[in-house]
Amino acid sequence: MERAFLSSGDLIADRRASYADMLFETGDHGAAADLMRQALEITPNWTAGLFRLGEMHEAAGQGDAAAEAWRKLLQLDPDDRFGAGLKLAAAGHTAVPETPPTAYVETLFDAYAPTFETALLDRLEYRVPELLANAIKVAVSERRFHSVLDLGCGTGLMGPYFRAYADHLGGMDLSEAMLQKATEKQIYDSLAKGDVNELDTPAQSTDLIIAADVFVYVGDLHRAFANVARALAPDGLFAFSVENHLGDDELILQRSLRYTHSEGYVRRLLAENSMTLLTLQRETIRLDRGEPLQGLIVVARPDV
């Protein structure tokens, strides 16, 4: 999150929080939590500070204290812009929600927009756009599309791969800041704010629907897949990625607050929504804390 967004509004509290962050970066998590707690004695209803305090307690191995901070935060911010409920669920204090709070996803990516591409491409070696574009070419060669919809388009990383092959290229995202970045590229014919779980595109109107690294912030995919299946033209394509785990659970909320999905879950939902799998590849999609992160690159079409 940007520092301006995190400000408590009190100079002394902000200064103590800044020192707490410095201690945290050195690895002294317990001392960082103590100092952050002092900052919150000055501004007890500082929501961003409470979230950070919870993270510091968590890193120090103080799980109950972390949960206490996040529960107080939820009382102050029931829309859960910081994902405190997800933190509680990932730590085993509450049940895992089927989907993350919309306000959390929107806030996260509004704050992330200025550094999004630098972080993904330069530091995390993000590969999903290229992998999806290649998978679509394998499935249908050099086909031209009348209408392409890039769900969760973000700053528009997928757009350049399909501009030359689309009569109309549309993008949709929850984050206004991300959409502004995409607008600046002048690649898309239309951009709109929206949620994949509320997709209201006219039935059978879209030739290609892409969801690159979107479903990690959706969780349960039943509604999303049903919406996509309804919107696809009879000869349309659905291309998407998921972060993948190898266990039996259909979806798991990770400590990163992203959801992973099993291959069996993906296959079942495609079948339930009358879509035929064309290609499914297990790939390294980016780095996570310096380690390769595995995902599925999938292309499907409506049953014929």
Q: Provide the residue ranges of all domains of the chain, joining segments of one domain with +.
A: 3-95, 116-302
Burial 11-26 (b: 16+ CB within 10 A, else e): eebbebbebbbebbee
Strand partners, 294: 284
pLDDT band at 304 (very low <50, low <70, confident <90, very high): confident
The CATH number of the structural domain formed by 116-302 is: 3.40.50.150
What is the pLDDT confidence band of residue 1, given thresholds at 50, 70 and 90? Answer: very low
Give CA separation, 253 vs 132, 230, 279, in Å.
24, 27, 26
User: Cα separation of 249 and 262, whole Å?
Assistant: 7
pLDDT at residue 141, as a whole number: 79
User: How large a percentage of the chain has pLDDT more than 90?
Assistant: 92
* φ and ψ of 6, to 5 deg: -80, -10
Q: Is there a contact between 244 and 261 (Cβ–Cβ < 8 Å)? A: yes
Strands (E), the chain: 145-151, 166-173, 190-193, 206-211, 232-243, 251-253, 259-261, 275-288, 291-302
Tens digit of each residue's pLDDT (9 = 90 or more) over 212-231: 999 999 999 999 999 999 99
What's the topology of domain 3-95? Answer: 1.25.40
CB neighbours of 150 closer than 8 A, spacing ≥ 6? 156, 158, 159, 162, 169, 170, 171, 172, 188, 210, 212
In the structure encoding, which two tokens stand for residue 177, read together?
């800041």
Whether the predicted pLDDT of 58 surpasses 60: yes
Tell me what the pLDDT averaged over the chain comes to.
94
The DSSP call for residue 121 is I
Q: Which residue in 248, 250, 251, 197 sits closest to 227, CA to CA? A: 197
| pTM of the entire predicted model | 0.92
Nearest to 101 by CA among 287, 253, 294, 263: 253
Residues 27-51 pLDDT 10s: 999 999 999 999 999 999 999 999 9
Question: Is 5 a residue whose pLDDT tops 90?
Answer: no
CA angle 57, 63, 68 (to 5 degrees): 80
pLDDT digits (tens, 9 = 90+) for 66-120: 999 999 999 999 999 999 999 999 999 999 999 999 999 999 999 999 999 999 9
Residue 44: C-alpha distances to residues 51, 158, 260 (Å): 12, 43, 35
What's residue 247's pLDDT? 87
pLDDT higher than 70, residue 121? yes
